[in-house]
Structure formats: structure tokens, C-alpha cells
Amino acid sequence: MRLIPSSTLIICAVLFLLFSCKEKGWQDIHSIEDLVESHPEEVKSLFEHLDLQLPELSEVKQAYEEGRMEEACAKLLDYYRASAQNSKWKRPIPSASNETVAEVDSILENVFVIQNVRGQVPILSSGHRDWHYRGPNDDREWAWLSNRHSQLMRVYNAYLETGNEKYVNYLDEFLRDFIIYSMPYPAEKGRDAIWRGLEVAARVKAWTKIFYGLQESEHFNPATRLLMLISLPDHAHYNRNFHGGNNWLTMEISALATTAAYFPEFESTSEWLDYSVDVMVESMEDQVYPDGVQTELTAHYHNVSLNNFELFKEICEDADKALPDYFVQTIEDMYGYIAKAIRPSGHRPLNNDGDRGSDQALLLQGAELFGREDWKFVATNGKEGERPEQEPSYLLPWAGQLISRSGFEQDAHWSFFDIGPWGSGHQHNDKLHLSISAFGEDFLVDAGRFAYTGEIADKFRPYAKGSQGHNLLLIDGQGQGPGPTHATSPVPESTVRIEGDFDFATSSFEEFLELEGEVAHSRSMMYVRDKFWVVADRVVGSGEHSVETLWHWHPDCEVKEEENQITGSHQGGNLVLIPLGDVDFELQWIEGQEDPEIQGWYSPEYNVYMPNVANSYQTTLNQSGNLVWLLLPYQGERPRIQTQLLETNEKQVRVSVNVDEAAWELTLPFSDGRNASLKMLR
């Protein structure tokens, strides 16, 4: 028998001990014992954040104070499983099955679709997902949004729908991966892919539903539950101390209130909730105008703020925390803006940064919440509800937006005319821009937002934000500079009129970029109800200036020129654009241009873009001059149109428009709207 040398036995023993004491990888952490062994300091920090004086945590406190950490953790999890505190989030465990949801299964392969871009998150050598991965376009927005964990809610809902344990197993593994990777919490404001305010806020809201919804699931491991509880105070600390303003604040503070209301076992919950109410009410007063419009003046982010104000109201109700009447009234006013601004097609205005999404369901939700039959009428194109007492056009005087309509039918005319401030965030340099829809179709459009970061943004972002992406004037090739971020008063009553047969508004802008001398652009717009629009532009400056007027058509329009008239055609109808007077224009057609500059592109939603036709009318004006335009929608056979510029000077323009057998005379002043007039001649 061969003997093994004692030195070899010693080496083997040492190697065995080293191997057996090797730190657990995150994939191997499943039980309470695993977590206490691998992350003792983090587990200890959880109990330091809990209010162990609560009677319902007495057994947890005793075990913790006696050093029985694993028992303390077990009793804490038992408490959450038995507690009725958050029954609104708890869900019965579905019956087990092998059913699947195809569109969710790709998420289980770490394939996420973020703002219309599909990418697969790589796995690092540590086994962790690369939580800083920017997607296939190297876009930091992709990294940020993937760390909001909205994809987890789709997996969670798939589990509740099917009972397939692979979905809850993925949730469990995903959260352990993320939370352990995110340690230690940096406790400072940043723009990292993981620790940035919007991502922190979104995770809290998703995690709360998952944590309570899976209380009865045997596949959701104790270590994962404890890791969520360990991380939540860090999330609350970030939202409490490093939140932003405007719509960021509404998202971040509503997340702080979420932690306070639904995890009252944390010691700081009372302070968090008091702070949340104080800050949210103050912010609402600061970021919502008296006309109900959020001060960023983008219909898209208006809805973001509204959603979070509503969420905050719900949270406070659950926590028995009173809010002032003003808060609820402002929520109603914000819905009121949607009712005024919504297109007949149900889509919101595409202005400043935002997407052209549908607001129909949101407005119906507001109608139900506040018992507004008039909003239901607007949202359903008159099929339900009661006709609004004031109709059909609306001025939002603080936002400086005139919404003109012929009615509320699906094929009604609609326009958006911007005469307000620049906005408190997500701004475009687009004062005096005009968008037009008719017959359920968009004709003249805003360019949209394209993207914020990455390759698409590098290419298109200046165009999206600049005047060149809007229906505006460029002076010597230059667009507008920034304007005032906030309105200190509503637009003067004398500059806007809404009458039974016409709408009128006028305003001006003077801060053009990099121009020699001072130049001012005034624009007056009159909508003759159910007939047409007339736009009068006046440019005043010293010396000679090149003036370029831009009109951007929706990509679905078939655009043609006939006898100096441009017609955009949809299946539903047409819009003809006619310059009035004898101005000598050089007309250019631009579509999908990249060189020498971006022009003729349209983005209906983030990361989605396509070419569209932009008509450029260029001329030269010496010191001052007026440019006048007729925009006439029609269906069927093209009507006979005759126009005449009767008067044009520094105070006003006066035009006649004949359409078939009807005739009108319009006066459009450049300052005092009280002098605006419309006469029907026959």
C-alpha cells in the first residue's frame, strides 16, 4: 500500500479549505443564509433603516438585537408575507402551466426594445448583465431606459397570465443580478446608467408591485426579497436628496412617496411623505400655468407630469395623507388642456420634445374621473357625451397656444398656433409655428424630436430643436434663439380673438441667432371657420435680408405644384398652399436632405424618422416687407380659387378670397387683434 506524503495531505486540505471558503458568486445567492454570509454589512444596513420600535416588528427586533441575523431576516419576510398593509399589490399565485407569451420570451434572452430600438444586453465575465450597455446605436438613453425595469413589468404580467415559472425565475435572477451589481450605492447625484433620478424613480414603482405581487411565490427567493428591501432605502435617499425639477420632480417625488406609503416599516417614512407633499404641491404651483398647461409646453411631457400628479394623489389617499383642494383642481385643469388641444383624430399636438401619440383613452379616463360629459363628447367625436358649452376653438392664454377647429367631428379642421414663451424644458426654437390637420389627416407638421443622444441625435437633434424643422421663417439662413422660459402673464387679450366665424392671433419674435443688426418677425393668423387659414408674415430690420419661409408636409402627403400653388393630398382630402401678392420667390423642394444641411425629415416618435417634403420659399427684403399665405383644405374636386392682396403695410394686410361662389374680405393686423375683421361678400 502506497502512503501519501503528509505534505501532500496538508496542501490538499488547504486547497479544500480555500475552495470551500471561496466567496459565493451572485448566481449562487438564493437563501437567507447565502445572503447573510456573502453580504453581512448590507443585511445589517437594512435593519438600521427599519423602525424596529413598531409593535408588529417586535419579534424581528428581538432576533436582530440578540444577534440572530438569519432568524431576524426570516421573521421580517414572514411579516411581509402576512401583512395586510399592502393588499392592493398582492396577487394570488396563478395555476402552473407551460403557456408562454411570445413577445415576452425575447426579454428572457435579455433582448430589450427601448424606444423602438432592439438590442441584446451582453453578459460580462462576472456573469452580470452589462447594465451600462447603450444598445446597438451607442445611445446612453438606451442604457438609462433599460435600467428603469419596465421590461420586468411585462415579464411579471406574463407570469400572472400564464403561471409559467420561467417568468418568475427570470424576475428573481434579474433583480439579484441588478441589485448586487449596483452595490455600493454612491449616495451622490449622477448621470450614471444605474444611479440617475428617473431610473431610480421608475424602479421603485415597478419593484413595489413585484415585491408584493410575488409574496406567495416559492420561486421568488428569500435573498432576492431581502435585496429589494436593502436597496429601497438607497432609492428613497436618492429621490429625497437629488431630485430634479419640472416633470423630473413629479416622477422622482412620486417614487419617494411610493416607498413611504407602501413600506411604512422604514424609519424615515413619515419624513419622506411630509417632504413629498410639501415639494410636490410647491412644484405643481410652479410648473402648471393657471390655464392647466405644464410649463415645459410640450403635450407629451404635460401628460408625464399629469400621470405622476395623479399617481401621487393615489399614494396619498392610500397613506391617509391629505392634499389641498388646489391639487385635485389642477389635475382636472390639466385634463382640460388635453380636451382643448386634442386633434380630431385623437392625437395630441406634436410640439417641442414629444411624440405624436393618441390622447383619446387618456381624455376618456379624465372624463370618467371628473364626470365631464363634454370631454367624452370631444374624445368620441360627438358620438357620446354632451357638446361643450364653449366651442370649438380655444386659447390657452398662459401657454400661448391657439387651438382652432371647425368642430369636433373626426374630419374637422384643426390647427395649433404657438404665440407663447419658449418653455421651461425640452424646448424647440419654434415660436409662431403653425401645424394644420383636416379630414382626420395631418398636413403641415412640426419635425418632432428624433432622439436625445446617440447617432440619430448627433445627426438630427439640431434640426429637431431649430427653427429649420418648423413652419417658420429663417432670416439670412438663421433661426430663432432661446426665448423666455416662463410666462409672467397671459398673452394680451388684444392679440387674440375667437369669434363665431373666425379665430385670429398675432405675435412676434426678435431674438434671431447671429444676425447683423436687429430683425423682428411678426406673424398674424386668421382661421375662417370651416373654410381656410390666412397667414401674414412681416419682417422688419435694418438693411437687406434674405428671408426663407418653410412649410413642412406630413410624409404621407402626396405633394404637387401647379401654377405656383402647392397641394398636399391624403386619401381623406387636400390642402392647397398659395402665396399671395407679387413677391418674387425662389421655390425649392427638399425631401430627406442630409447635405449641405439636414432638411425635410419628420419624427412622429422617439428613434423613428422618415423623409418628408419641405417647401422653401426664398426672397430678399430691403428693411421690411410682408409675406402672405392662403392655406385652404378641400375634398373632392379642386374648387375655383381667386385671391387678391388688397392692402399691405406696416400695420396690416387686407386680402380677398373667392372660393367657387363664396367670397370673403379679411383684415389681419400685426399688433392689435381688435382691428381684425372678416366680411363675407357673398
CA distance linking residue 37 with residue 23, whole number of Å:
9
Query: For 191, which DSSP code?
Result: -
CA distance linking residue 511 with residue 514, whole number of Å:
9
CA dihedral 25, 28, 32, 35 (to 10 degrees): 10
Give the residue from 240, 361, 251, 376 showing the smallest Cα distance to 306: 251
Tens digit of each residue's pLDDT (9 = 90 or more) over 179-227: 999 999 999 999 999 999 999 999 999 999 999 999 999 999 999 999 9
All CATH 2.70.98.70 domain ranges of the chain, comma separated, are 394-680
**Residue 29: what residue type?**
I
Residue with cell 480555500: 18
With a CB cutoff of 8 Å and minimum separation 6, the contacts of 7 are: none
pLDDT at residue 390, rounded to an integer? 87
pLDDT at residue 339, rounded to an integer? 98
pLDDT value at 54 more than 60: yes
Is the separation of the CB atoms in 149 and 202 below 8 Å?
yes
pLDDT at residue 87, rounded to an integer? 80
Beta bridge partners of 558: 569
Backbone phi, then psi, for 549, in 5-degree steps? -100, 125
Residue 590: pLDDT band with limits 50, 70, 90: very high
What are the start-end ranges of the E strands in 236-307? none
What average pLDDT score do residues 451-471 get? 96
Query: For 678, which DSSP code?
Result: E
pLDDT at residue 634, rounded to an integer? 98
pLDDT value at 160 more than 90: yes
What average pLDDT score do residues 401-405 get? 98
Residue 563: pLDDT band with limits 50, 70, 90: confident
Is the separation of the CB atoms in 567 and 575 below 8 Å?
yes
Residue 60: pLDDT band with limits 50, 70, 90: very high
pLDDT at residue 5, rounded to an integer? 53
pLDDT at residue 430, rounded to an integer? 98
Residue 23: pLDDT band with limits 50, 70, 90: low
Specify the 3-state DSSP secondary structure of 658: strand
What average pLDDT score do residues 340-364 get? 97
pLDDT value at 7 more than 80: no
- How many other C-beta atoms are found inside a 10 Å radius of the C-beta of residue 580? 22
Helix/strand/coil (H, E, C) string of 487-546?
A: CCCCCCHHHEEECCCEEEEEEEECCECCCCCCEEEEEEEEEECCCEEEEEEEEEEEEEEE
Beta bridge partners of 591: 613
Residue with cell 401583512: 83
CA distance linking residue 431 with residue 417, whole number of Å:
9
All CATH 1.50.10.100 domain ranges of the chain, comma separated, are 22-39+81-242, 260-391
CA distance linking residue 446 with residue 434, whole number of Å:
8
Specify the 3-state DSSP secondary structure of 586: strand
Is the separation of the CB atoms in 302 and 334 below 8 Å?
yes
pLDDT value at 14 more than 50: no
pLDDT at residue 11, rounded to an integer? 45
What average pLDDT score do residues 413-427 get? 97
DSSP string, 472-485: SEEETTB-B----S
Architecture per CATH, domain 22-39+81-242, reads as Alpha/alpha barrel (1.50)
With a CB cutoff of 8 Å and minimum separation 6, the contacts of 179 are: 227, 228, 230, 231
pLDDT value at 343 more than 50: yes
Is the separation of the CB atoms in 469 and 364 below 8 Å?
no
What pTM value is reported for the model? 0.91
Edge-to-edge order in the sheet of strand 662-669: 641-648, 652-659, 662-669, 677-680
CA distance linking residue 595 with residue 593, whole number of Å:
6
pLDDT value at 681 more than 50: yes
Is the separation of the CB atoms in 365 and 378 below 8 Å?
no
Beta bridge partners of 418: 401
pLDDT value at 58 more than 70: yes
pLDDT at residue 22, rounded to an integer? 42
pLDDT at residue 518, rounded to an integer? 87
Residue with cell 389635475: 331
Specify the 3-state DSSP secondary structure of 431: coil
H or E stretch covering 396: strand 394-396
Residue 1: pLDDT band with limits 50, 70, 90: very low
What average pLDDT score do residues 61-83 get? 96
pLDDT value at 469 more than 90: yes
CA distances 15 to 8, 12, 18, 289, 587, Å, are 11, 5, 5, 70, 83
Residue with cell 386619401: 571
596 prior amide bond cis, ω within 30: yes
> How far, in whole angstroms, is CA 189 from its chain's centroid?
22
611 prior amide bond cis, ω within 30: no
pLDDT value at 564 more than 50: yes
pLDDT at residue 20, rounded to an integer? 40
CA distances 541 to 535, 585, 670, Å, are 20, 19, 15
H or E stretch covering 207: helix 197-213
Residue with cell 395623507: 321
Residue 383: pLDDT band with limits 50, 70, 90: very high
Is the separation of the CB atoms in 270 and 299 below 8 Å?
no
CATH hierarchy code of domain 394-680: 2.70.98.70
pLDDT value at 493 more than 90: yes
CATH homologous superfamily of 260-391 equals Chondroitin AC/alginate lyase (1.50.10.100)
